[in-house]
Amino acid sequence: MSDLSNRIQETIDAEPVVAFIKGTHEQCMCGNSERALQALRSVGTSFTAVDVLPDPAIRQELSAVSSWPTIPQVFVRGQLIGGADIIEELAQNGELERTLEEKLGPDYRGAAPERVVTVT
Amino acid sequence: MSERLQTLLEDAFPGARDVEVVDRTGGGDHFHVTVVSARFAGLSLLDQHRLVYDALAEPLADGTIHELRITTRGDA
């Protein structure tokens, strides 16, 4: 695996909730990424954002790691949960909250502020 | 372009109760596809969407599809 691929995998493994998006949590550059972040916020969870825009290789390597072709991608405890459509649907039907409670514990809400990390 | 996606999806999900392709912006690159198929029964949303991505691998790879929204339902 490349260094970049390793750093992506390390980030996925290390962060409780990580969202690979176009832009940052404060300045989101894509409607689908924004939808995913809003869905995460709607269930009260914090997250770590990774901006894929600085280097096209991030997106390529991420898709190779996850076998998921599009951005955004949301992982909880190292497991891909979905893109914008799935995260939105799971937030609406209550499954996202259940997944977060199951994987992070009942106190997952407001555990930490939203933040950004880089993988390059 | 919508017709191409429609054909790819109908070929990938024969007998689907519904296959719908909406060109969200009219520009031929932002699409919302809906597939209702018995093939989704028992699959997670993740795996359901993967099947749709597989069906549309070519237009996704060649850049035809700039943005894709997916709605899937089992044919219950």
Q: What is the pLDDT of residues B32-70, one digit of tens each?
A: 999 999 999 999 999 999 999 999 999 998 989 989 999
The amino acid at residue A107 is D
Q: Which residues of chain A have pLDDT under 70?
A: 1, 111
Considering only CB atoms, which residues of chain A are within 8 Å of chain B? 31-32, 67-70, 80-86, 89-90
CA-based nearest distance B14→chain A, Å = 23
| Per-residue pLDDT at A120 | 84
pTM over 0.90: yes
ipTM, two decimals: 0.87
- Name the residue in chain B with its Cα closest to that of A82: B46
Question: Cα separation of B21 and B34, whole Å?
Answer: 7
Contact state of A82 with B60 under an 8 Å Cβ cutoff: no
pLDDT of A82-100, one tens digit each?
A: 999 999 999 999 999 999 9
**Adjacency order of strands within the sheet including B67-74:** B18-23, B30-37, B67-74
| B33 neighbors B2 (Cβ within 8 angstroms) | no
**Assigned architecture for domain A3-102:** 3-Layer(aba) Sandwich (3.40)
In angstroms, rounded to a whole number, what is the distance separating the alpha carbons of residues B48 and B61?
A: 19
List of domains in chain B: 2-74 (3.30.300.90)
Q: Could you read off the pLDDT of B15-25 as tens digits, one per residue? A: 999 999 999 99
Are A86 and B45 inside 8 Å of each other by CB?
A: yes
- What is the pLDDT at residue A118? 93
Contact A75, A12 (CB under 8 A): yes
Distances (CA, A) of A82 to A7, A106, A116, B1: 20, 21, 19, 26
